[in-house]
Structure 1
Amino acid sequence: MTARELDAAGITDPRLRAAYTHCRELNARHGRTYFLATRLLPPGRRPAVHALYGFARWADDIVDALDGGRDGGADGETARRAAALDRLGDDLARGLAGREGAAPVVTALADTSRRYAIDHRHFADFLTSMRSDLTVTEYACYDELRAYMHGSAAVIGLQMLPVLGTVVPREQAAPYAAELGVAFQLTNFLRDVGEDLDRGRVYLPRDLLAAYGVDRDLLRRCRDTGRTDRRVTAALREFEALTRAAYRRAAPGVPMLDPVARPCIRTAFVLYGGILDAVAAGGWAVLHRRAAVSRRRRALVAADGLLRVTAARLAARRGTTLTPATTPHPPSRPKEAA
């Protein structure tokens, strides 16, 4: 199947094929929801998405996984991570300039950037946010968090947009693509509160937590003891509501996409929204366990996506257009969780 995708994308150079294959393996191994949604794209567009994901994952792993986590630790460890990010940035600059890069993820990303004319500033902004993760461990307010997420999430949506294609001018769809990237990352922040805390980081804004009488110490006690606290639950519910609002703002952008790309994004939209549902259904116990969408729901959403893909491709062959019926409903809090 990988060869079919590469052939469909017109990627014939053996070195490029190996680089894209490496990125695809990263996506399949680490990005379960993202990878499933990518499978709904036309084969020729999938390698580009794998390249974008692979580079982002590689950079994030430098920040997160080097010697066991980003806890701010010893100055020497932080310096090592910073140096590794700098080397990646230098390698990317060479790749984007048309010179040979060292890392396979850079080779694939540079090729994708050329094929789809992706603005290089998006990659620079992404690396800026990754560098901030080495020293910034919390955010005073949502505006501060949004500034960080511009580079860590919004630009991912903007990188994806040329690959997905649009039926409106790209600049019209761009704000919605950026907002969907933010919605996905807010979802991850909520799901991963406990894991991020173990890395010494708290992404939930400090003023939001303080409004409910929550601070880092209380989060730590709950994490360590396995106990829940109504103040923490209230703060998490507030963050959940904030995240659902981001999905509502992003939703109008889906019908702006190329019809054959809509099922992919709709599937990611629904599955990531399903993580919020799982968090709520589990009593917001994200400090103690990781919420996940059930296999049954994933299968149902994927099956629906396949039906939509088939309809979109048939319509494209016939030269007809689809109605905006593919617009996903923004995730709303389940009644039992209200």
Structure 2
Amino acid sequence: MSGPSQAEAGSTEIEARISGSSFYAAMLLMPKRERAAMFAVYRFCRLVDDIADDGSRPRPERAKELDRWRADIAELYAGRPSGQAAFLDSAVRDFGLQEADFLAVIDGMGMDVAADLRAPDQKTLDLYCERVAAAVGRLSVRIFGMEHKSGLELAHQLGRALQLTNILRDIDEDADMGRLYLPRELLVRAGIETIDPAAAIGDPRVDAACRQLATQAQDRFAAAERLLRSRPRGKLLAPRLMAAVYRALLQDMLAQGWIPPRRRVRIGKLRLLALVARCAVLG
């Protein structure tokens, strides 16, 4: 009897890594065909993100790996053997996923490979969020079956809300990698001039900068919620749950604050189940 294929093994590994997460719970709520496509997209995102985060290897080597992904994505859309991107074939064909969105994600990871982002200006941060979050959102809303206009709006608003929440949750972990995603304008407004990650997040005034970024995230969540409440076409249980979970994380962080030392906020299993039940009622 033959063992699992490389694609199956990779999918199983990804599922094992995210089992128990809010993303995993959201995906389990989707129909089988859509769930398989979302796992494929997530697997792609994890693979290219792992390249960006692998600080043990030289930047030129990682940049070449991202270029290899670009080439394989191009081969996939040209209908030729696509190497490591082959597992995306079904999702691309079934849901009309756009090549430009996959390339945008790779470009976002390339920003981390080129140099560790340290207090980027607001415009650069928005470009980063557009690539690593909104582009993923655009891939996702096609799988959700949303109409073009409402899908683009949800990807734009919710994608940024989720990414800003991740930035606020992960400031300590990012600093350990030499990164500081908090925008320079907000740090300066809070009285922090340094762009050294450890020094910036060790300053008690970082709380003020984080709260300003949290306000931006709240505005994005509110816009996404208004769109979801208008009941656009599509299978929207998964994005409703992701919005609910990350909004809850943001509220917990606002209650706790960002003055060091910080505790990483988490959503427990019982609370996650309650959010799932509430979103299921909304449909």
Q: What is the total number of aligned residue pairs between the two structures?
A: 276
Number of the residue aligned with 2:126: 146
Letter of the 1:22 partner, please give it.
Answer: G
Q: Does 1:159 align with 2:139?
A: yes
1:125 partnered with 2:104: yes
Partner Cα separation in structure 2 for residue 163 and residue 88 of structure 1: 22
Q: Give the partner amino acid of 1:162.
A: R
TM-score (norm 1): 0.75
Cα deviation, residue 286, structure 1: 7.2
Deviation for aligned residue 1:217: 5.8
- The offset of 1:90, in angstroms, is 1.6
Distance 1:162 1:148 in 2: 21
Within a 5 Å distance, the mapping from 1:64-75 to structure 2 comes to 64-67=53-56
Q: Which runs of 5+ in 2 are unaligned?
A: none
Deviations 1:38-62 (A, max 9, x none): 1111122100000010001100000
The runs of 4+ residues in structure 1 deviating greater than 6 Å are none
Q: How does 1:286-301 map to 2 (within 5 A)?
A: 288-301=262-275
1:60 pairs with 2:41? no
Aligned mates of 1:180, 1:115 — CA distance in 2: 24
- Asked whether 1:178 is paired with 2:178, we answer no
Alignment TM-score, normalising by the size of structure 2: 0.88
Q: Which residue of 2 aligns with 1:241?
A: 215
Counterparts of 1:121 and 1:286, CA distance in 2: 40
Tell me the CA shift for residue 236 of structure 1. 1.3
Matches within 5 A, 1:167-316: 169-216=147-194, 220-221=198-199, 229=204, 231-254=205-228, 255-258=231-234, 261-285=235-259, 288-305=262-279, 307-308=280-281
Q: How many angstroms does 1:140 deviate by?
A: 3.9
Most deviating of 141-150 and 189-198:
141-150
1:21 CA displacement: 5.8
- Residues 41-60 of structure 1 aligned to structure 2 (within 5 Å): 41-60=30-49
CA–CA distance in 1 between the matches of 2:261 and 2:103? Answer: 32
1:219 and 1:90, CA in 2 relative to 1: closer, same or farther beyond 3 A?
A: closer
- Alpha-carbon spacing, 1:212–1:62, altered in 2? closer, same or farther (3 Å): same
Q: Is the 8 A contact 2:51 2:65 kept in 1?
A: yes
Q: Distance in 2 between matches of 1:29 and 1:110?
A: 22
Alignment CA distance shift 1:173-1:217 (3 Å):
closer
Q: Which residue of 1 aligns with 2:75?
A: 94
CA distance in 1, matches of 2:248, 2:13: 24
Aligned residue type for 2:243: F
Output the amino acid matched with 1:97.
A
CA deviation vs aligned residue, 1:174-197 (integer Å, no higher than 9, x gap): 122222111111110110011111
Paired with 2:102 and 2:14, the residues of 1 have a C-alpha distance of 18
Q: How far 1:144 sits from its partner (Å)?
A: 1.9
| Greater Rg over alpha carbons, structure | 1
Contact map agreement 1:23 1:53 (CA 8 A) in 2: no
Question: Matches of 2:260 and 2:151 in 1, distance apart?
Answer: 33
Change (3 A) 1:264 1:282: same
Which residue is 1:335 aligned to?
none
Separation in structure 2 between the aligned mates of residue 284 and residue 304 of structure 1, nearest angstrom: 29
Q: Which residue of 1 aligns with 2:17?
A: 29
> By how many angstroms is 1:112 displaced?
0.9
- TM-aligned CA distance change 1:200 to 1:184, over 3 Å: same
CA contact (8 A) 2:154 2:227 kept: yes
